[in-house]
Amino acid sequence: MKKTELKKVLKPLIKDCIKEILFEEGILSNIVSEVVRGVQPMQVAHVATQTNVIDEQSKALDLERRNLLEQRAEAERQRKISILNATGFSDVFKDVKPISEQGVPGASKAQGALAGVDPSDAGVDISGIFALGGKKWKQLAG
């Protein structure tokens, strides 16, 4: 028998045997499942790398946003100071005490225009108004 004749006879037999082993005995499915298991950690590592990059980018953006907000607040504070200094109103609230949000301790909930105003607050001094009008108050009132 020649080599080519042997090849013609054996090749289909070997082909059928290999197909039978791969498909019927489940060798091919085992190979595919092992390949898939080997590929999955790579995909997970790639996804983890992408999420790390995204986290770093979002942290950088948050830091940049905070810096911009701080710069804006500082610029606004500087503008307010320059306006107050230019108008002479920088010390207008120098001796004013803040009103407590609860009102006067021990008092019932007051209502009206002066609700929440500290009773010891002297208010605004209006004594200079009389000096402006002088002796013309009767003319101005009448």
**What is the tens place of the pLDDT at every residue in 85-134?**
888 777 777 787 776 655 555 555 667 787 777 778 888 888 777 777 66
**CA 37 vs CA 24, 46, 56, 107: distances in Å:** 22, 15, 29, 75
For 15, 74, 83, the CA distances from 90, given in Å and listed in that order, are: 98, 17, 8
pLDDT in the model for residue 68: 94
What pTM value is reported for the model? 0.33
Q: What is the pLDDT of residue 142?
A: 66
Q: What are phi and psi of 20, to 5 degrees?
A: -60, -45
Out of 13-17, 18-22, 31-35, the most confident range is: 13-17
pLDDT of residue 67: 94
pLDDT tens by residue, 44-90 = 556 667 777 788 888 889 999 999 999 999 999 999 888 888 887 77
Domain boundaries, the chain: 1-85
